[in-house]
Structure 1
Amino acid sequence: MSRLARVLPRHAAVLVWVPVLLAAPALEVRSGPGPVVLALGLVALAATSCVVAVLKSWPCSSTVSTAAWVVLTVSVGIGSLAYDGWPPAWLLVAMTAGVTFRPAVALGAITLAVVLATSTLARGGASVEDVYSQAFVVALAGAAAATFSHLVATADALRRTRAQLVVAAVADERERFSRDLHDVLGHTLSVMVVKAQAVRRLVPTDPDAAAVHAADIEQIGRTALTQVRETVHAVRTLTLTEQLEAAHDALTAAGIRADVHTPTSSVDPAVGTPLAWALREGVTNVLRHSSASTCRIDLVRRGTSFELRVCDDGVGTPPPEHEGRIGGLDGLRSRLVAAGGELEVAPGPDGFSLTARVPAALDAATERSR
């Protein structure tokens, strides 16, 4: 949106009054060419300075807008002292101050306009009632213009904030879908590849075992279709118990000895879900990159947190992390951080390790944000 398109709605309450409030000073001078020219010059100067002050005041007052308001005030003051018909122009001075300056400065400027308006009117011999009426009208005009300008600016800010929230919501949903799809299919396809390799190895020597693995591939494929549908509809939830069993089966099928140690007590589902995602990613990396013969999975309670550690004795490492990458270790780290936890990945003395920590108790707000 252009600058002019933003300024005009906010300051329309002032700009529409420029010709109305300056019409009387322009029409009431009939004493000769000289006074008429001077009066029209003051009117033109007042109108121009008012428009400049208003248009240069967005998003806040500047040196130009402040100077223009001063010129407007001086021109109206000179006109009020030299001619009749200028009292309405003081409303324009107060209204311009209300939309040009910040609230604290605007209050002082409107007060100054009230003082000058009543002083010039009293100097011309006006009654006390007229002076009080002028003070009230000028102050009310300035306050009304400032309030209207503030309301329009607030409505504009709310519209822009709503548009930004829509964009952010779409981006968050796209990131969630990409991350879930990567984590779900990445693991499932890795298991299918491992089992397909087992089928190829066993066909010549043990057809019955190869048939069992082939049936597993079929079942995993059907499960993957269900997982994709659940991911699309944002209802995919992992359980730690199921994932521990799946990790053991996948590692065994790949010829990797699985050594799993878990606590005797149950883990709360709110805590188990982020740990299940961590286990899934850790086992996927072992299958893809480690060339390991053994994988140890430890789940322990340490103080107020649960710690899951996946450690292999291989030589492979996960793919390098990239800033802004969706899925993989970056996506897992985002899940754990949203749950109040943390992720550590590092080569250990006997291989590569992935460690995920999650607080033992997650509140409802944290779980919903995950």
Structure 2
Amino acid sequence: MSGLRCNLQRYGGVLVWLPVLLLFPLLNLSGDVMTAAGQVVLVLALAAAAVALVLTGRVAVLLTALVVLTLLAAMQGEGWQTVWGVLAIVSPAVLRGWRLLIAIAAATAGAAVSIAVIEGVGSGYLLSVGGILLSGLTTTSFLRLIETVDQLRRTREELARTAVAEERARMSRDLHDLLGHTLSVMVVKAEAVRRLAARDPEAAAAHAADIEEVGRAALADVRAAVDQMKTLSLAEELDGARRALDAAGIRTSVAAAPAEVPDIAGQALAWVVREGATNVLRHSGAASCRFELTEDGGQFRLAVVDDGVGGPAVPAGPAERSGGIEGLRQRLRAVDGRLDVRPGADGFRLEARVPAS
């Protein structure tokens, strides 16, 4: 039922011409009452075959029936030759390529022969035959335009669905990267407050103030991410990672050779710093960590190296989450960069490369 409705919506513009083309035969009924009644039945059968062919697309049976009915109708006499136009305008709805060309040519040739035999070659002969050919070509162009518009509409809908899916993945990745790092820092600070509360209240209060500051920054980050306005500073992320790791008792060093990193590359590397620091805090059990930023061969290289037990566990199952290491890979691919993960017996190395330009 849905297929019939779809064909009616797509090819309804063809069917509206059937009453116009079949009106002329009905105005030129001839013979006695029985003959006229038979001609009316022939016109109705021709119309039914054309409608059924357009709506169902059953070419093998219905197109053959339409051709036979058109031949019978054309033999009825003067005023009946417009039935060739029915064949010419219906064929583009169900045929393509060389089959369509043959159908339009056959309708034009049939009209040329039958008009010459029945009505003779008069002043309007070329106009009548040309009208059949033009109706077939015009209908073909009209239907192909409708099909193109329909295809463009479906493509636009698919692009919209893809954009929504990509935006959801981006939001998921941003929230993971933003909150994962921030919450890890807050957990480390809270543990420090618990340890120092009894013996060093001032240090505990300082860590508590840091927790408040980090929490406020996290709220600002989430709001900015929701507003699609979140940008990271590589220098700020390196400084924040150093302070967070130092607070957790992990010796941290930062070696940054380039004086300036372009915004796009800097933002991509800033996410690497944030995720790398989060993984060191959460998973490594490391005693030391270093961040190395260098420029080599038209590329910026950022390495996060620790002496711990390794990086995060790979999630089970075929689907990976959108954040974490996989999220970094997606971010770096977006700027033509790449990410290398090298766990080893002496620690864990996370290395990112992005083009300098």
Superposed pair shares fold, TM > 0.5 = yes
Contact 1:10/1:148 (<8 A) preserved: no
One-letter amino acid matched to 1:237: T
**For 1:311, which of 301, 305, 319 is the aligned residue?**
305
- The answer to whether structure 1 residue 210 and structure 2 residue 204 are counterparts is yes
The Cα of 1:102 is off from its aligned counterpart by: 2.3
Q: Paired residue for 1:268?
A: 262
Q: How does 1:36-55 map to 2 (within 5 A)?
A: 36=36, 39-40=39-40, 42-55=42-55
Q: Give yes or no for contact 2:265–2:355 (8 Å, CA) kept in 1.
A: yes
- Structure 1 residue identity aligned to 2:128: Q
Match in the other structure for 2:329: 333
Deviations 1:20-72 (A, max 9, x none): 42344356444347645654554344223312321234xxxxxx325422331
> Which residue does the alignment assign to 1:106?
100
Contact (CA 8 Å) 2:258, 2:295: kept in 1 or not?
no
- 2:91 counterpart SS class: helix
1:121 aligns with 2:95: no
Counterpart for residue 144 of structure 1? 138
Contact 2:28/2:80 (<8 A) preserved: no
1:264–1:161 Cα change, 3 Å: closer
2:17 is equivalent to residue 17 of structure 1: yes
Q: Deviations over 1:251-307 (max 9, x none)?
A: 111111113222143222221110110111111011011111111222222312222
Deviations 1:299-329 (A, max 9, x none): 2223122221212211243132462522222
Q: Residue 56 of structure 1 corresponds to which residue in structure 2?
A: 56
Q: Distance in 1 between matches of 2:260 and 2:98?
A: 61
Deviations 1:71-90 (Å, cap 9, x if unpaired)? 31232123213444320111
Which residue of structure 2 lines up, in the alignment, with residue 60 of structure 1?
none
Amino acid at match of 2:353: R
Which residue does the alignment assign to 2:4? Answer: 4
Aligned partner of 2:72 in structure 1 is 78
Output the CA distance in 2 between the equivalents of 1:50 and 1:32: 27
CA shift for structure 1 position 210 = 2.0
CA distance in 2, matches of 1:125, 1:83: 8
Query: Does the alignment pair 1:239 with 2:239?
Result: no
Q: Distance in 1 between matches of 2:120 and 2:98?
A: 31
**What is the rounded CA distance, in whole Å, between the counterparts of 2:273 and 2:45 in structure 1?**
75
Contact residue 118 and residue 135 of structure 1 kept, 8 A: yes
Q: Which moved more, 1:32-41 or 1:43-52?
A: 32-41
Does the residue aligned with 1:340 lie in a helix, a strand or coil? coil
**Aligned position for 1:350:** 346
1:124 alignment partner, SS class: helix
- State the one-letter code of the partner of 2:47: A
Of the three residues 291, 296, 309, the one matched with 2:290 is 296
Q: Which moved more, 1:121-130 or 1:191-200?
A: 121-130
Q: What letter matches 2:252 in structure 1? A: A
Whether the 8 Å contact between 1:98 and 1:107 is mirrored in structure 2 is no
- Cα root mean square deviation, aligned: 2.3
Q: Secondary structure at the match of 2:222?
A: helix
C-alpha distance in 2 between matches for 1:79 and 1:229: 74
Give the stretch that moved more between structures: 117-126 or 8-17.
8-17
2: CA distance between counterparts of 1:30 and 1:222?
A: 92
Q: 1:367 maps to what in 2?
A: none
| Distance of 1:75 and 1:30 partners within structure 2 | 18
CA distance in 2, matches of 1:353, 1:108: 69
- The letter for the 1-side match of 2:84 is W
Q: How far 1:202 sits from its partner (Å)?
A: 2.0
Q: TM-score, normalised by structure 2?
A: 0.91
Contiguous gaps of at least 5 residues in structure 1: 58-63, 362-370
| Secondary structure in 2 matching 1:352 | strand
Per the alignment, in what secondary structure is the counterpart of residue 253 of structure 2?
strand
C-alpha displacement of 1:146: 1.8
SS of 2:218 mapped into structure 1: helix
- The answer to whether the 8 Å contact 1:278/1:356 transfers is yes
For these two proteins, the number of residue pairs brought into alignment is: 355
**Cα distance per residue 1:73-125 (max 9 Å; x no partner):** 23212321344432011111110122222255433321221111011110114
| Amino-acid identity (%) | 45
Deviation at 1:160, TM superposition (A): 2.6
How far did 1:353 drift?
A: 2.0
Unaligned runs of 5+ in 2: none
Partner Cα separation in structure 1 for residue 99 and residue 128 of structure 2:
21
* Worse-superposed segment, 317-326 or 82-91: 317-326
